[in-house]
């Protein structure tokens, strides 16, 4: 059973598997966002942030839940398609969670729970229901089997620019052991050529590494939060430096993220120095700003760790870590504690670490697991 999104990647994955002789069934997950609603959301957000018409259109395509496109693709490939309504679960686990985190001034990338819990979770359950042994997606990632333990090993895609392995750190062995990833060994350019050969229309995918999720960019998410919560939860407050000097005001902490550049402050422009969001004072609804060098940190505490393969929990682990999706890998020491907690010490200081971010651990090309930054 192959998850069909309406984009070229999942379509090519299905076509490749069919060409290899597999019996392929497509599954489209309807998340409950209509093209009209999505386009309106993106258009308004784009107007607020000054985004051009071309970019509006691209993001509207990203947001669209287009079952008709999925049906046309499956008809072209010659495979049956089932449509599953996942709108309630998507709203509960992704949209509501994102809004809750934003109101608490926590960062959250909705792509991680969306891919691991919604897309792969539903695909596996539906495959069980219909009697399919294997499941497949169009993710750019690779899987290998450990020669000694027989456990699945999640690895980066051959095309480093297209790699999406960091989105799958929340999966367990039960899902990974039956997952097929036909595109992991291909470049994005080759996938486009194959789409053309199969006669599949190419739709530009939503790229998680761009910072634009299935819910839109920062401006669209702000609009979503404000339309989903009462004004009493979005309290105005004062903006002040880390030394306590009041330098302005704000319309709600949910409009900001750690590391964001802030303008219009009552501060001296010493050498055109810029100021950035350093953090939040939730008790006073204060926005804390300061120079960029104060955004750097050497360590974090993270919760809810998921190890794809077992690790030695009695000693620190030497590996690399990446804050999803923006920052590159950096060498670190990870010390596991009880209750799924880990302490991460980076060799080099990292910028704009914030509670709610996903942190992914890797060893060379293998994804070891991940967790959620707490402090």
CA angle 301, 303, 308 (to 5 degrees): 115
Structure tokens at 300: 């974090």
Residue 253: phi and psi, rounded to 5, are: -65, -25
Tokens 């055109």 correspond to what residue? 272
Instruction: Clarify whether 114 is annotated catalytic.
Output: yes
Measured between alpha carbons, how far is residue 8 from residues 67, 143, 187, 362, 373 in Å?
A: 14, 21, 13, 28, 33
Specify the DSSP element, H or E, that contains 370. Answer: strand 366-373
> Of 114, 206, 319, 332, which residue is the catalytic one?
114
Range 245-258 burial, b when 16+ CB lie within 10 A, else e: eebbebebbbbbbb
- Residue 257 contacts residue 277 (beta carbons within 8 Å): yes
Closest CA to 139 of 244, 325, 299, 2: 2
Measured CA to CA, the distance from residue 19 to residue 364 in angstroms comes to 32
Closest CA to 34 of 64, 54, 61: 64
> Of 74, 214, 319, 332, which residue is the catalytic one?
214
Specify the DSSP element, H or E, that contains 365. Answer: none
- Residue 353 contacts residue 345 (beta carbons within 8 Å): no
Measured CA to CA, the distance from residue 48 to residue 62 in angstroms comes to 19
- β-bridge partners, 336: 342
Instruction: Clarify whether 214 is annotated catalytic.
Output: yes
Closest CA to 214 of 89, 60, 102, 107: 60
Q: Which ranges constitute the DSSP H helices of 146-243?
A: 173-176, 188-198, 218-228
- Residue 353 contacts residue 297 (beta carbons within 8 Å): yes
- Residue 205 DSSP code: P
Active-site residue set = 114, 214
């Amino acid at each position: 059973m192959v998850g069909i999104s309406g984009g070229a990647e999942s379509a090519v994955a299905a076509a490749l598997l069919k060409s290899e002789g597999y019996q392929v069934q497509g599954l489209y997950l309807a998340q409950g966002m209509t093209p009209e609603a999505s386009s309106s959301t993106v258009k308004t957000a784009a107007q607020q942030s000054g985004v051009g018409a071309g970019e509006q259109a691209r993001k509207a395509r990203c947001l669209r839940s287009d079952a008709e496109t999925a049906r046309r693709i499956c008809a072209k490939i010659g495979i049956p398609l089932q449509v599953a309504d996942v709108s309630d679960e998507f709203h509960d686990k992704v949209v509501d969670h994102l809004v809750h985190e934003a109101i608490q001034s926590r960062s959250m990338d909705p792509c991680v729970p969306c891919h691991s819990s919604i897309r792969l979770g539903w695909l596996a359950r539906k495959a069980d229901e219909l009697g399919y042994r294997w499941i497949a997606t169009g993710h750019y990632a690779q899987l290998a089997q450990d020669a000694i333990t027989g456990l699945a090993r999640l690895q980066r895609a051959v095309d480093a620019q297209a790699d999406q392995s960091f989105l799958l750190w929340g999966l367990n062995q039960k899902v990974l052991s039956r997952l097929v990833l036909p595109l992991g060994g291909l470049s994005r350019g080759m996938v486009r050529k194959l789409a053309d050969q199969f006669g599949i229309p190419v739709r530009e995918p939503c790229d998680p590494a761009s910072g634009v999720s299935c819910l839109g960019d920062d401006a669209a998410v702000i609009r979503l939060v404000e339309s989903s919560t009462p004004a009493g939860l979005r309290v105005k407050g004062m903006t002040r430096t880390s030394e306590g000097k009041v330098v302005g005001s704000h319309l709600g902490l949910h409009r900001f993220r750690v590391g964001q550049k802030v303008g219009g402050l009552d501060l001296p422009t010493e050498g055109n120095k810029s100021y950035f969001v350093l953090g939040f004072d939730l008790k006073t609804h204060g926005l804390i700003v300061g120079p960029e060098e104060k955004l750097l940190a050497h360590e974090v505490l993270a919760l809810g760790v998921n190890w794809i393969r077992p690790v030695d929990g009695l000693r620190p682990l030497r590996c690399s870590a990446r804050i999803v999706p923006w920052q590159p890998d950096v060498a670190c020491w990870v010390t596991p504690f009880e209750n799924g907690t880990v302490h991460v010490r980076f060799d080099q200081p990292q910028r704009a670490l914030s509670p709610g971010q996903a942190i992914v651990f890797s060893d060379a090309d293998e994804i070891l697991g991940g967790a959620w930054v707490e402090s």
